[in-house]
Structure 1
Amino acid sequence: MFIPNMVYDHLISYGISQSYTIWHAHGERIGGASYHANDAQNNNEQINEGSSGMATMLHDVFPMFDPEIVEGGPEMGVDAREAGVQNENRQGSSERVNKFYNMLKDVDEPLYEGCTKHTKFSVIVCLWNMKCLGGLSNSIFIELLEFVNELLTLGASLPKNAYEAKKYMNELGLGYEKILVCPNGYMLFWKDNENLETCVVCGASKWKQKESMDDMSKKGKRSPAKILRWFPLKTRLQRLFMSSKTSAQMKWHAMGRTNDGLLRHPADRMAWKTFDTQHDDFASDPRNVRLGLSADVFNPFGNMSISYSTWPVMLVPYNLPPWMCMKRSSFMLSLIISGPSSPSMNIDVYLEPLISELKELWEVGAPTYDICSREIFTMRVALMWTINDFPTYGDLSGWSTKGRLACPICMGNTRSRWLKYGKKFSYMGHRRFLPSNHRWRMMAKTFDGTREIDPSPTMPTPDKILEQLDDLNCNDRTDRKRKRVVGSTSVKEHSWKKCSIFFSLPYWKDNLLRHHLDVMYIEKNVVDNIVGTLLNIDTKSKDGIKARLDLQDMGLRPQLHSVITDANKTYLSPAIFTMSNKEKEDLLKVIQNVKVPDGYSSNVSRCVKLQQRTIVGMKSHDCHILMQQLLPIALRGSLPKKVIEPLIELSGFFRGICSKTLRLEDLDRLESRIPYILCQLEMIFPPSFFTVMVHLTIHLVAECKLGGPVHYRWMYPVERYLHQLKFHVRNKAAPEGSIAEGYLLEELLTFCSRYLESAQTVFNRPSRNPDDSKGKVVDVRLDFMSWTQAHRYILFNSDDFTPFRM
């Protein structure tokens, strides 16, 4: 007796007959004749290797030639022919048809007579995947191709060199556009200005001027002074829905998310939900895409002594589940801004192509074929927020992150004080965030010499921000003076430098969270302040002669004022946080001797210099581990309890907001405790300790409540991706061009790798430390020291245990 479901599964897996000839030239789809929408929901189904898997990939890349789409019925075929998923003219369409059938022929052509596992197409894809995954040079790859071709004297002919293989692979790629830019960054020679020869702002030519007329005549063309590389977004988002491997995942935020009150995804928080409420037509279709934008600077040469900076702009689709969202395979490179200098506030000029496309995708949308539901829908796109470090925050938002009003959250209510001898601003005044009747508010001499009666600051409403921006002359790039906004009762300053281009998006002003504070950048600066001050590291310590003179100028802590001795030397009396040489050595030995699992962190012990009693060369993640795990243990017994307690609480604060799963009650507790922690630090450290980065910690919990878990909004995955982009630079004379070409191949191989399940790819490569137990229960016996360490770890990090009280 045959069960219908079993028969159906066998037909899907094995087909009607193993010897059946697929008539692809007559429109029969390979491996997809009986493909149903219900089956597309399961992205974990196994696809046959060789011809079937590669043919499925081709149909996902060229869906407009799928007979089931183009001729699938009156309700689907007409829309597909009109939209075509890609609207092309006849000549272009004819070229793509020929390209499609040539590749489909290579899919059917066996590598050699009798080969049933691989075809010419699959071998080329696998070889190029090996080259990129293993980092093979072009010379080695050419030798490999020559050797394989010698073995296949009677089989299919493979490309003879890396250039031919790359050209073959690029037929599947999406490409990018080159836009000429004013060498001073004032305008793009794009759209209506494409035929202009000089910049309308500064008059600079768009061509290089160093070349002589003879050189130009020999070359036959002129070289552009500066190039912006733009990777169109629409086609890349459409491919996510055309692929059977990612289409279902693009609806995870609406259909796969668990709604149990815990915060695991940005969709769980107010910024996302408020956007849905304000734009219910957009939220009605879960396939509409929500993006985050990240821009950062890096040196493409890997040599920091060279003053050169390249600015990639990347996009992150937040529709994807947590295990895919912030991964390298999901990042989309949108723009590459050429160096050698930073665009600074002129970055809006370079963002014009992206913003123009985002406006079109919001207002008009793009017809997109969804392989899961087997229908064409109008895809719309919204930009939720930007992710960047603090200096880039100012470039993108338009708010100056330097000076007296550096805090972009407090804005005009930022509390700062100029330090006469330190020559910088100090951002204290955290007593405003305490309850109105708290006794610390009246303790002037213990803090900054003033009594605190003001309430905690609130961020201006979007209408108030737009009112402030209306006072700016956005077209006058030379006007950098602060404007004053006159209100009904008072005069407040603001620090806007420009009207950001993001406000041209129709929905941008209503977003609750437009630009994120980067926890990675803030945490590193806080750790540098703490470690540098405690160990009294030169150039990093916030306690010195200038800091003591500032205390004297403010009339605070007379016991710490500098004293001139009889030998005409300046004596600084030890502060409560001053450590002896023995205490410094003990602290550094704890950090140096720590053992962590492989892959947990870098070797922090290499940064410890016992002889000099200092720590040097710590990266951002080293500071992350030091702050949250090592510092609370290393400080015990080294300093008075009054100093240790707030530092340990600060460590717990960062550990709490960096959790992958958050609870609202935990966030409320952290938000109520951080003002007390900062006020305790104000009573201990000098005013120079409180840079703007220390002050910004008080706003981190509020952003978690609006945007969700931190790991969706910090720079760690972006920085790792920038490190990977450096490997694409093969031509030092054109680093941005190398990055663009390398990214195209990486993007294509990432797409192809989803269909290569038997080969090693970025998705299925073995872990660095594979588990050999294969699910079996393993009995591990710990020595006494390891048992004690595990016991303490559980006690310090688990909420299930409460302190024992007599």
Structure 2
Amino acid sequence: MCQETASYMTWHTSGLENDHLLQHPVDGKAWKEFDSLYPKFAEDPRNVRLGLATDGFSPFNSMSIAHSTWPVILINYNLPPWMIMKPEFLMLALLIPGPSSPGNDIDIYLQPLIKDLKELWEFGLETYDSSSNQRFDMRAALMTTVSDFPAYAMLSGWSTKGYFACPDCHYDTDSERLPFSKKNCYRATRRFLDPAHPWRYDKRNFDGVIEERSEPIPLKGTDVEYMLRDFPNEFGKKQKKTRGDEDDPIPWRKISILFQLPYWKHCSNRHNLDVMHIEKNVFDNVLGTLLDIPGKTRDHESARRDLVKMKIMPELQPKKVDGSEVFPRSRFWMSLEQKRKFCRVIKNAKLPQGYASNISRCVQVEDRKITGYKSHDAHFMMNYLLPIAVKTTLPKDVATPLIRLCGFFKGIWSKTIDPQHLDRFHSEIVEALCMLERIFPPAFFDIMVHLPVHLVKQIKLGGPVSSNCMYGIERYLHELKLDVRNKGRLEGSMAEGYQAKECIAFIARHLKRSNISTHDVNECTASQSFLPKIGRPIKGKGRTSKKKHCGHMIDRITWAQAHRYVLFNCDCEDVERYINEHKMCVSSKQKRKWNSAQDHNKDFIDWFREKVELEVEEGQEIISDHLLWLSKGPSYVAKNHTGYSVNGYRFHTMKRDAKCVTQNSGVTLTAITHSSASSKDQNPVVGDVNYYGSIQDIVEISYHGHFSVVLFKCVWFHSEKDDDELIMVNTNKKISVGEPFILASQAHQMKANKANFPSPHHQVRVP
């Protein structure tokens, strides 16, 4: 590693802020418990914590060719969260050749890797640390695995099919065989409710019994090791079960080779449930059932006949009318026009550029189908579009649990999570699934719909979802697929390509960057100053180089608003001193706090200029150049931009946005605000307030050529939350008219969707 990369290996100790938030696996309980059990390993932060990921993929462009190659990838959890899943930091440990999945025999292929991991744990490996110019014995420990649900069974040895499909509930899994649908359902979500919750005693609206059981306690590693101490591992081909054979009452298929690692039994979060695949499958169930897509709906004739056998939900049971079987309409039934409206919400949504793929191509409005979407498309629709679609087409009692289901997934995908919110997330998903049990037939509740109740526990143990999901791994598999040059030597091509990329990346890290890429939107493009210009302007189509540099005159009001905002938000200690002095001066003259704040806001610009000029004339103290130019104010000639890229977002003005198929003019800002009930209020409330608006203009003001600042001139709208906790903005009600500007570096993007809400209301979704 180069010196810069080597320093990141101790980021989990030196670079992490102690803010009690979950933003890295080091914040999870599993990491801390491991440190307490093995303090010698934890003494040196350079010792490596690893994760193991695997998945099968077809290296051919044609999906009609049945071939599955299984790479085994090691994840470096010492790195910061934004580097963990980067392809250049993932390590390709094994390539299991196709054409079929290794299945239960994956342990045979893992033997060399396990041998190396045992040596790294017991003896370590002499390593050179380029950041400190020292040599040390580097040790490594495998903390967890990341995989989809079928690969979960391959790595853990627990069968993820049948009556005991849930590995967290293990032998206490509550499942029931549906005789007509010929599948198992997993419905008993009420046992995860609080012990005093009234739904536990509601027999009428659920399955006719009182739920007194507590939620299952997951098996510890020591329990599994003791349970399987004499379990015979049988690898190789086995005789297939014939139809009619009873399910094997023993859900274990093997004792995993990972238990050969001396510390594995003490790992609290041994195997991760992949949120990416869970979210995709839950979305498939919801979408297929609501739109009644053949082959994907869970509300079919067999599902209705199961209700008769189970003696539940009499309102949905088929009835005999004139000798024929009639199936009553469900509460989530939609007419053809409602289904088209549902599809139009998805198809016509204007999204920010780069926010998602072209989802509209997946929507067939007339056929009332949404097909061909990928996992990330499902993630985006689940988090941002499905709540709007169900709210505008379904009854409230059906839409509410679906919106809460979407809100749960959106909440757990946050990069930074407050641990105090996790218990609320857990209660929300449990209650949402309980509400859905009263609406959808049992066939809807397959194992993927059940697994979300365990995700909060997993986050507490392993940290944020982004470090323990398959999104980064799937992107890496795509890179391996691109390395295939010889279709007759698939795995050899991948291995050669991996080695070549590793060498190139190693050399590139030692080379200084010679120029700034226009795609690095967060680079400082001006000389470093106390107000660095972050981001870069985006030139519109047809604009010439002459237009790029031309300016325009701004009026006195706009000049004052922009200059005032720069002074109050420049994060300069010298300016802060003058601000506090002026506040004290004004408050001594005014009795009311509201009037004092208004005078301070109105008079500070002129007072600041006169104060600095007086100090310069009298020579009381040395005035820095930047303070002097700040006091004089910016030039009245400003540049205009129609687009700007900053903070990873692409922003447009409303005028430019009107000509685009994307929506990039929405902006949101969280600011500390003093809120007063009236001008006579002596105790204003101070707190964070979220503002939502659209960008009217992008202005770059120059302080007479010494430095410049990019500001967004915005129109702010009144916002409020509805009964479903969705944020609604009223475009007819404008707020903070006198404070339209924000710094470009403060801006975050939001998406407003008109859908079918009463005019002029728009529903807002924030990343």
Q: 2:149 aligns with which of 383, 386, 390?
A: 390
Answer 1 or 2: which has greater helix percent: 1
Alignment deviations for residues 580-617 of structure 1 (CA, whole Å, 9 cap, x no partner): 11111111111101111221111110000112101011
CA contact (8 A) 1:290 1:381 kept: yes
Q: 1:451 to 1:310 in 2, by over 3 A?
A: same
Q: 2:418 aligns with which of 642, 663, 670?
A: 663
Aligned to 2:746: none
CA distance in 1, matches of 2:727, 2:400: 20
CA distance in 2, matches of 1:583, 1:359: 59
Residue 536 of structure 2 corresponds to residue 772 of structure 1: yes
Aligned to 1:558: 314
How big is the shift at 1:386? 0.5
Q: 2:455 aligns with which of 697, 700, 717?
A: 700
| Alignment RMSD (CA, Å) | 2.9
CA contact (8 A) 1:295 1:388 kept: yes
- SS of the aligned residue for 2:503 comes to helix
Q: 1:345 to 1:476 in 2, by over 3 A?
A: closer
Aligned to 1:685: 440
Q: 1:640-651 counterparts in 2 under 5 A?
A: 640-651=395-406
Residue type matched to 1:712 in 2? S
- Structure 2, unaligned runs of 5 or more: 242-247, 524-534, 539-565, 567-638, 643-651, 659-664, 667-691, 695-715, 731-767
Residue type matched to 1:687 in 2? P
Residue 41 of structure 2 corresponds to residue 288 of structure 1: no
Aligned to 2:9: 250
How big is the shift at 1:803? 12
How big is the shift at 1:564? 4.4
Q: 1:445 to 1:800 in 2, by over 3 A?
A: closer
CA contact (8 A) 1:290 1:384 kept: yes
- SS of the aligned residue for 1:315 comes to strand
How big is the shift at 1:654? 0.5
CA distance in 1, matches of 2:238, 2:229: 14
Q: 1:515-526 counterparts in 2 under 5 A?
A: 515-526=271-282
Q: 1:605 aligns with which of 354, 360, 369?
A: 360
- SS of the aligned residue for 1:636 comes to helix
Q: 2:465 aligns with which of 710, 735, 738?
A: 710
Answer 1 or 2: which has greater strand percent: 2
CA distance in 2, matches of 1:404, 1:793: 52
- SS of the aligned residue for 1:323 comes to coil
Residue type matched to 2:288 in 1? G
Aligned to 2:654: 782
CA contact (8 A) 1:412 1:494 kept: no
- SS of the aligned residue for 1:325 comes to coil
Choose 767-776 or 355-364, whichever is displaced more.
767-776
Q: 1:462 aligns with which of 215, 221, 228?
A: 221
Aligned to 1:434: 193
Residue type matched to 2:296 in 1? K
CA distance in 1, matches of 2:284, 2:717: 27
Choose 626-635 or 781-790, whichever is displaced more.
781-790
CA contact (8 A) 1:412 1:493 kept: no
Residue type matched to 1:773 in 2? P
Q: 1:268 aligns with which of 19, 27, 38?
A: 27
Residue type matched to 1:540 in 2? K
Q: 1:672 aligns with which of 402, 427, 437?
A: 427
CA distance in 1, matches of 2:25, 2:257: 24
Residue type matched to 1:628 in 2? N
CA distance in 2, matches of 1:381, 1:681: 45
Aligned to 2:610: none
Q: 2:286 aligns with which of 530, 535, 539?
A: 530
How big is the shift at 1:772? 3.1
Aligned to 2:501: 746
Q: TM-score if structure 1 supplies the norm length? A: 0.65
Residue 169 of structure 2 corresponds to residue 297 of structure 1: no
Q: 1:475 to 1:612 in 2, by over 3 A?
A: closer
Q: 1:498 to 1:513 in 2, by over 3 A?
A: same
Aligned to 2:511: 756
Q: 1:645 to 1:793 in 2, by over 3 A?
A: farther
How big is the shift at 1:493? 5.8
Alignment deviations for residues 101-123 of structure 1 (CA, whole Å, 9 cap, x no partner): xxxxxxxxxxxxxxxxxxxxxxx
Q: 1:734 to 1:759 in 2, by over 3 A?
A: farther
Aligned to 2:299: 543
CA distance in 1, matches of 2:725, 2:392: 24
How big is the shift at 1:326? 1.3
Q: 1:286-685 counterparts in 2 under 5 A?
A: 286-475=45-234, 494-566=250-322, 570-685=325-440
- SS of the aligned residue for 1:336 comes to strand
- SS of the aligned residue for 1:550 comes to helix
Q: 1:357 to 1:480 in 2, by over 3 A?
A: farther
Task: Figure out how many residues of one structure are paired with residues of the other and give that number.
Answer: 551
Residue type matched to 2:536 in 1? D
Residue type matched to 2:506 in 1? F
Alignment deviations for residues 444-466 of structure 1 (CA, whole Å, 9 cap, x no partner): 34223333121111112333222
Asked which structure has the greater RCO (Cα within 8 Å, sep 6+), the reply is: 1
Residue 592 of structure 2 corresponds to residue 720 of structure 1: no
Q: 1:793 to 1:714 in 2, by over 3 A?
A: farther
Alignment deviations for residues 662-700 of structure 1 (CA, whole Å, 9 cap, x no partner): 001111211122211110010010000001011000000
Residue type matched to 2:39 in 1? D
CA distance in 2, matches of 1:348, 1:749: 32
CA distance in 1, matches of 2:725, 2:78: 31
Q: 1:712 to 1:573 in 2, by over 3 A?
A: same
Q: 1:299 to 1:431 in 2, by over 3 A?
A: same
Choose 454-463 or 703-712, whichever is displaced more.
454-463
How big is the shift at 1:419? 0.2
CA contact (8 A) 1:411 1:494 kept: no
CA contact (8 A) 1:253 1:267 kept: yes
How big is the shift at 1:789? 7.7
